[in-house]
Chains A and B, each alone.
Chain A
Amino acid sequence: MKVLVTVKEVAEPDDDFAVEGTDIAASDLEYDLNEWDDYAVEAAVQLAEAGIADEVVAVTIGPERAEETVRMALAKGADRAVRVWDEAFEAGFADVAAKVTAFEAVVETEDPDLVLGGVQAADTGFGATGVALAERIGFEHAAVVNDLEVDDDAGVAHVHRELEGGVEELTDVDLPAVLTVQTGLNEPRYASLRGIRQAQRKEIDAKDLSALGLSVEDVESSLAITSMYEPESESDAEIIEGDAGETASRLAEVLREKGVGA
């Protein structure tokens, strides 16, 4: 079977950052593979190693810069990658449906049996793409999966869905399916030097909208970010000033007052 993994390059603000307009200044952002997608890549690669998947294809919607992130997925064992980008995405904030439209077109060409993605993107935190994609392409789905066993012959994925409060739901999901992967599902590997070298030779197929048979109207977003600001702190925390010794001694005083360590 074929596995498609959605991988997003996410932005993380530096400790010191400034908001410019409706986003954080580009110079104050670092980019990385989304943590949840790292677990999804690992799950896909493990399926390949177990002989269940014959091909693992990574797909991203992102600018050229995102190829670095995609290469990480390739270095960890994905066979090849598709990168979708278009000027149309630069214009504003792509909503879930717009991204799903692009992924749907990729699914049509790739024809996967299983799509793995992350529970959420660390930066925008929508937590919605996988389930929306499943609905669009007519696949079954399960969100927040922290245990996965694929029975290819039976056409079923046995999963645990991690609910709130230390309860897991055991579910059998018919394939083809989209699963959103929770951290802790596995232990994501580090890319080996050999993997990194091999990744350089693997194909990243860059496609714009017209290559996918889509037009700008197809990915029009229904959402617009109109402001961004640092939230006002709700607490009046006492920030203890001084060097490590001074702060520790003031904190010790506070803790003793609360009866700690007595």
Chain B
Amino acid sequence: MGHEQGALSAHDDPREILGVEVDASEEQIRAAYLRKVKEFPPERKPAEFERIRDAYEILRDPHRRIAHLLFSIDPSAPLASLVERRPAAREFVGPEPWMAAIREK
């Protein structure tokens, strides 16, 4: 996929921006969009909002959605990329590991 919209670069994945799965239905895409807009309202986070809006514009249009679906998944990509942007768990581990990192000069 080439340049889709002004705020998105060629390598941005609109599904990732909206946080929806590859098989998300129209309703799921819309719900995810509304959720994200609440999180990043245009008056407070204009740049992020623009990316979210552009991602939604791609996914709401069935022609662009199918084009994206056909070309965005690379089966030969490194398997590690499956967890590339997976958020860390943010587990509570107590003060010791933190203090150990602080004590390490």
Q: Do A and B associate with each other?
A: no
Residues of B within 8 A of A (CB): none
